Each structure stands twice: as C-alpha cells, then as structure tokens.
Amino acid sequence: MDDRHKNYRAWDPQEGSQKRVSPQEVLPEDDLVFFLLDLLPKMDLSAFHQYYAGELRGQPPFDVTMMVTLLVYGYCLGIRSSRKITMACERNLGFRAIVGDDPPDFRTISDFRKIHLAAFENLFVEVLRVAGELGMVKLGNLSTDGTKMGANASRHKAMSYGYMNKEIDRLRAEVKELLRQAEQLDVEQDATLGSRRDDELPEELKRRTQRLAKIEEAKARLESEAAARAAEEQHRRDAAQAEREAEGRKRRGKEPSPVDSTPEAKAQTNFTDPQSKVMKQSNKGFDYSYNAQAVVDGQDQIIVAPKVTDQANDKQQAVPMAQAALNNLSAAGIAIPQDAHGNPQRIPNTADNGYFSEKAVEGLEKMGLDPHIATGRQKHHEGPLPPETTEQSAEGSVEEKMRQKLRSVVGKTLYAARKSIVEPVFGQIKGVRGIRNFLLRGLEKVSAEWNLICLTHNLLKIWRRSISVGVI
C-alpha cells in the first residue's frame, strides 16, 4: 500500500496569532493609505483646528489630522459607519497605519464628523486646488447632472395628511380619557401616596401626548409647504393675467378653480428625516431621497461643485450649480482659460434636458458659460439628427437656438462627451464604493456628507494619477 501523501507548508497557529505585523512592511508602497498620510498633513486644516483653539480644559483630544485622515480613508473605501470604522481600526492594516495602537471609539468618530461638517467644505476646495495644480482640471467641458441618493428615513415612519387628521382625533380622545382616569386614580391614591407632582404623567398618557405633538408638528409642516406652493401658483397666475391684460388678450378656456392651500390627502411627510422627499428611483420605484448634484470637469472626472437639494427635478439647478462651480474654482485658484486677446473664454457647460429652461440658458450665458443643454429627450427608435455646420440664426426662440447649437459639429461633440464625464462619476460612487444613501439626516448635514463623498472621489482620482505618473 502506498502511504505517500502531499506535504504542506509549515503552519504554526500560535506563532501567526502572536506575531506583530507592520502595515508598512505588508502593504504596497503606493497604497492609498500612505498616499493620504503623505498628502493630508500638507493641506490647510485650520478650519478643523479652530474648533479647539479656545478650549484648553479637559483631556487632549485625538489629533485632528489623524481623525480627518481616518474619516477620509473610510469614505474612500465606502466604509462610513462610525462603528464599522472602529472595527476596521482593530482589524484592518490600512486603518491601523492611521491610528496606530490608540484607535478612537465609534462615538468619538461620530461626534468628530458632526462637529466638523462645515469644515469639510473647506477641505473640498483644498483637494480641488491640488487637482488643479496637477493639471487635472482643464475647463474644456463642465458637465452637470444629478442622482437620487436614499435618505436615512424609513417609509414605515411616514404618514399622509389625510391619515394625520384621523390619528389626531383618535389620540386627542385617548389623551382625554387617560387624563380622566389619571385624575380619578389620583383622588383614590392621595390618602396612601400623598400628593403627586404635576409632571408625573402615566406612561400611556405620556406616550400618546408625545405622539400627538409629533403628528401635529408634521401636519403643520405639510400645511406650510402647501401654503407656499399655493402662493407660488397664485403669483404665477397673477403674472400671466397681467401679461394678458397688457397685451389686450383674453383668457382661453374655462376659468381655473381657485388656488387651494390645503394639502392633498395623500401628501406624506417622514418623521425620521422630515426634509427628505419621496422621489422616483432609477429602478422605477419611489422612496425617500435627496437629489445629489455635481458639476464634473471633462479632463479627469474631477468634481468641481457638489450640492444636495430636496427638489426631485433639476429644472432650477443649472444656474446655482454653475455659480457654485465658479466659486469653488476661484477659491481653489484655478484660472478661467483666456483667448488670444487675454479675455476669459466661455466655458462649455453640458446638461440633459431636465435642466433646460430659457431662464437657465440666459443665466448661464450671463455668467460667462457656454450652455449646451438638451431641449428634449430623444426617443430610442429615432436615429441621431444629422449635424449642422451653419451658424446659428439671430432670430428664433431660446429653445430653437439651443436645438440648432446642439446639432452643430462642436455642439454634438460636446454634448456626446457628457455621458463619459458626469454619468460614470455617479457609477463610481454608487456602484464601486457602494455609497447609495446618506447616513446623516437633514438637508444641511446631508449636504456636508455629500461634500465628503465628492472630495474623496477627487482624492481617489488624484491617487490613481499619482500612481500612473509616479509623483504627486
């Protein structure tokens, strides 16, 4: 009988579990963590340090640069939960290279992120400055687009306006009954328990009172939003009527019904994140979300302006996003290209038809941009329109001029490039890094988190550039 067997490499579990491992010896020399450890300490982090400048009491906090590097590294890898970051600090060599033998607690990480939300806006500009110095921002095509990011809100913690009215009536009746029972119980127990304090409400009464207050607050919020929409609609009607009277025209058709400021019965609000809105998702479903916007440069897919809005459509976002991009470029010291005469060139700005309006086109042109915005959606069964080489006509509406501009050779080339500029950025954030929803709640906090997500996207682009070129 053949007793030969395969030999295995020697393995000593005791030795392996007790051996100290150095991240620098194990991880590649060009690993992301070493890139961040080298780059971030050189950046201006004064906005983070300023919080601790006037407070000298208590134990010394964790090093600010270390905490910034830790959060940035986690977001680069798609690890955003403070608990998961703490766990990674104990088990992951990349995180150990940042924190060493003194990892912060998850509560410390969470608090640091909340305290310094505004400071990450400054860090975004600092990262953009580095990208500009490396020649990664050329301003040959600024492309604007948005994507729906899930809110940290449960659909089960929402209620419609119609149901609110029924629930308020029910809770008020229950509170009234519980108050009657509590008063009767107080009278019966006064002899043995003494007098009770006014704030000692029974648990059932306390719970219903709190729920009633939350529902009434949510109801008032829906009514306020409906009143604002009604006022806007009334203003639009008044302006249209004034225009008709000035032109001597009469209204066509039936007189519209009066503007109603009462919310629809199906109008909903969420209790966990009231500022989030129900928006249509890419999978054709609906969920509580925010509309995350980005302006991306065509050279290396660097985001030059991030922003979050609670509006489901993009119609009003073209001008604000372009202004944010110009502000960030100026703050980062990235100059606008000039022509042969030393005058600033008009920067092409491409966007899909969701951004188109005459007001948006005129606003972008006044800012010195060259808008290329689709005027309508092309149907799948239709072939592409033939390009036009003729110059634009001086006559015609803004929409006609834009349609003609997009059919020119230059316009067609610029707009076609949009699909390879801004759309892949959202795929890299949501598909590659797995960041499809926000952890924080409220528009202000969500906007700051989107800044952090976008600046880490830019850092990843700069890191990959440094690997290919060999220097930073």
The pLDDT tens digits for 15-53 are: 777 777 788 888 999 999 999 999 999 999 999 998 888
Contact 77, 433 (CB under 8 A): yes
Tokens of residue 75, six digits: 């977001």
CA distance 382 to 161: 43
What pLDDT score was predicted for residue 98? 94
| Predicted pLDDT of residue 380 | 43
Q: Residue 382 has what pLDDT?
A: 45
Per-residue model confidence (pLDDT) at position 45: 92
Q: Compute the distance between CA of residue 152 and CA of residue 307 in angstroms, rounded to an integer.
A: 17
For the whole model, what pTM was predicted? 0.80
pLDDT at residue 182 greater than cutoff 70: no
Mean pLDDT, rounded, for 429-437: 93
When mean pLDDT is compared across 64-78, 170-184, 277-291, 438-452, the lowest value belongs to 170-184
pLDDT mean over 203-221: 71
Region 55-61: mean pLDDT is 75
Whether 455 shows a pLDDT value over 90: the answer reads yes
Read off the pLDDT of residues 366-410 as tens digits, 9 standing for 90 and up.
999 999 999 887 554 444 555 554 455 555 688 899 999 999 999
Are the C-beta atoms of residues 434 and 78 closer than 8 Å to each other? Answer: yes
User: Which residues, other chains included, contact 141 with Cβ-Cβ below 8 Å and sequence gap of 6+?
Assistant: 297, 298, 348, 350, 414, 417, 418, 421
Mean pLDDT of the chain: 83
Confidence of residue 82 (pLDDT cuts 50, 70, 90): very high
Q: What is the pLDDT of residue 152?
A: 86
Ranges 143-152, 212-221, 378-387: which has the least confidence:
378-387
Top-confidence residue, 192 or 66:
66
What span, in angstroms and rounded, lies between the C-alpha atoms of 244 and 265?
34
Question: Phi, psi (5° rounding) for residue 188?
Answer: -70, -35
pLDDT score of 65 more than 90: yes
Pairing of the two strands 369-373 and 347-351: parallel
Predicted pLDDT at 33: 94
Place of tokens 């009657």: 180
CA-based R_g, the chain, Å: 29
Per-residue pLDDT band at 413 (split at 50, 70, 90): very high
Q: Rounded distance, CA 435 to CA 154, Å?
A: 17
- Is residue 377 packed enough to be buried (19+ CB in 10 Å), middle (13-18) or exposed (0-12)? exposed
253 or 77: whose pLDDT is higher? 77
SS (H, E, C) the chain: CCCCCCCCCCCCHHHHHHCCCCHHHHCCCCCHHHHHHHHHHHCCCHHHHHHHCCCCCCCCCCCHHHHHHHHHHHHHCCCCCHHHHHHHHHHCHHHHHHHCCCCCCHHHHHHHHHHCCCHHHHHHHHHHHHHHHCCCCCCCCEEEEEEEEECCCCHHHEEEHHHHHHHHHHHHHHHHHHHHHHHHHHHHHHHHHCCCCCCCCCHHHHHHHHHHHHHHHHHHHHHHHHHHHHHHHHHHHHHHHHHHHHHCCCCCCCCCCCCCCCCCCCCEEECCCCCCEEEECCCCCEEEEEEEEEEEECCCCCEEEEEEECCCCCCCCHHHHHHHHHHHHHHCCCCCCECCCCCECCEEEEECHHHCCHHHHHHHHHCCEEEEECCCCCCCCCCCCCCECCCCCCCCCHHHHHHHHHCEHHHHHHHHHHHHCCHHHHHHHHHHCCCCECCCCCHHHHHHHHHHHHHHHHHHHHHHHHHHHCCC
pLDDT in tens, 334-376: 998 887 777 888 999 999 999 999 999 999 999 999 999 998 8
The predicted pLDDT at position 256 comes to 80
Q: Is the pLDDT of residue 166 over 80?
A: no
Q: What is the pLDDT of residue 31?
A: 93
Which pLDDT tens digit goes with each residue over 84-138? 999 999 999 999 999 998 899 999 999 999 999 999 999 999 999 999 999 999 9
User: In this predicted model, what pLDDT tens digit does every residue of 300-345 receive, in sequence order?
Assistant: 999 999 999 988 889 899 999 999 999 999 999 999 888 777 788 8
